[in-house]
């Protein structure tokens, strides 16, 4: 099937889901919320999103099969499908778990930044998707995914077009996506570097405004931009990081900069899985150590 056709079908499915979401929004029982869980998968990123209408999205899969254990706890045993995977970039600490997920779950579609690689894990993931006939969708800056009424993803980066390109440093090709749900917003940064954070501020700072920031690159100082933190002005920052990792993440300078702007920071190496529930305006945080 031609890629264009696949995208049209995909967008068609999403348009249908709009109607479902609209019904969900009208449910006055107040039981339907957006749930975002930042998994503790060691040194790597993996976040699971369940929308009010039951659409399930996984952003990255972490460095190992640990993500399967996490999904097993989040999803009922009979639910063997994930609607959408967003692969921020193909570094192993984000990609390896996605291979396990693709072997164990029926995946609706995969969104990537379009980069290519000759690394074995990249080829294995690509072959698995082809074998399972999973639509692969390359999204670029300013593309949007509409999941339902007032629930969207907007792709803010990569700033360049990386489709078909093999780059030396995949971090700079990371998908940066803002997820908006009514008045609440989450910003997923992948491992994007400081230079991209600063360019995003220069381009359209107002667009960055979010309640929750998934801090770029596990809190590495190579991703620390104070002007970016000030512009995003999140209430909460999440750092997905492995306990006693060999890189020294998160760097002290990043923690200090976040604190300077009054941003409450939580780390998966200290909190375990961090769940944030949004009713479209208010957030509730649940982790092993905290509930507020």
Judged by the rule CB under 5 A, the positions of this chain that interact with Zn ion are 93, 191
Distances (CA, A) of 188 to 150, 217, 289: 18, 11, 23
With a CB cutoff of 8 Å and minimum separation 6, the contacts of 220 are 191, 247, 249, 250, 251, 254
Half-sphere exposure of 226 (CA within 13 A, CB side): 7
**Rounded to the nearest whole angstrom, what is the least distance from the CB of residue 240 to Zn ion in the complex?**
8
* Bridge partner residues of 237 (DSSP): 213, 265
Taking the least distance from each CB to Zn ion, the nearer of 35 and 191 is 191
- Shortest reach from residue 197's CB to Zn ion, in Å: 15
DSSP state of 223: G
Pairwise CA distance, residues 248 & 191, whole Å = 15
- Closest C-alpha to 90, from 116, 68, 127, 66: 116
Q: Which is nearer to Zn ion, 148 or 242 (CB)?
A: 242
145 and 152 in contact (C-beta within 8 Å)? yes
Shortest spacing between CB 106 and Zn ion, in angstroms? 26
Residue with Cβ nearer Zn ion (191 or 211): 191
Tokens of 9: 């079908």
Sheet (strand 47-50) strand order:
136-138, 110-112, 84-86, 56-59, 47-50, 34-38, 274-278, 283-286
Distance CA 31, CA 18 (A): 18
**Residue 129: CB minimum distance to Zn ion, A:** 21
């Amino acid at each position: 099937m031609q890629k264009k056709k696949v995208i049209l079908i995909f967008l068609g499915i999403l348009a249908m889901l709009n109607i479902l979401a609209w019904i969900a929004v009208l449910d006055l029982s107040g039981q339907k919320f957006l749930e975002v869980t930042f998994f503790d998968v060691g040194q790597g990123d993996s976040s699971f999103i369940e929308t009010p209408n039951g659409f399930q999205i996984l952003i990255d899969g972490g460095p190992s099969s640990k993500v399967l254990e996490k999904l097993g706890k989040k999803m009922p045993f009979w639910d063997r499908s994930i609607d959408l995977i967003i692969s921020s970039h193909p570094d192993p600490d984000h990609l390896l778990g996605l291979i396990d997920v693709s072997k164990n779950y029926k995946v609706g579609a995969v969104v990537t930044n379009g980069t290519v690689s000759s690394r074995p894990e990249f080829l294995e993931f690509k072959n698995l998707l082809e074998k399972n006939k999973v639509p692969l969708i390359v999204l670029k800056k300013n593309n949007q995914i509409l999941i339902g009424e007032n629930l969207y993803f907007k792709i803010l980066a990569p700033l360049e077009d990386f489709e078909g390109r093999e780059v030396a440093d995949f971090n700079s090709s990371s998908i940066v996506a803002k997820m908006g749900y009514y008045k609440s917003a989450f910003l997923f940064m992948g491992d994007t570097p400081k230079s991209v954070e600063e360019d995003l501020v220069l381009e359209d700072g107002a667009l960055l405004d979010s309640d929750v920031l998934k801090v770029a690159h596990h809190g590495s100082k190579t991703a620390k931009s104070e002007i970016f933190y000030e512009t995003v002005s999140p209430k909460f920052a999440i750092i997905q990081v492995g306990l006693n990792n060999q890189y020294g993440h998160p760097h002290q300078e990043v923690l200090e900069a976040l604190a300077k702007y009054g941003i409450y920071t939580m780390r998966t190496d200290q909190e375990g899985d961090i769940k944030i529930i949004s009713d479209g305006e208010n957030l509730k945080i649940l982790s092993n150590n905290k509930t507020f």
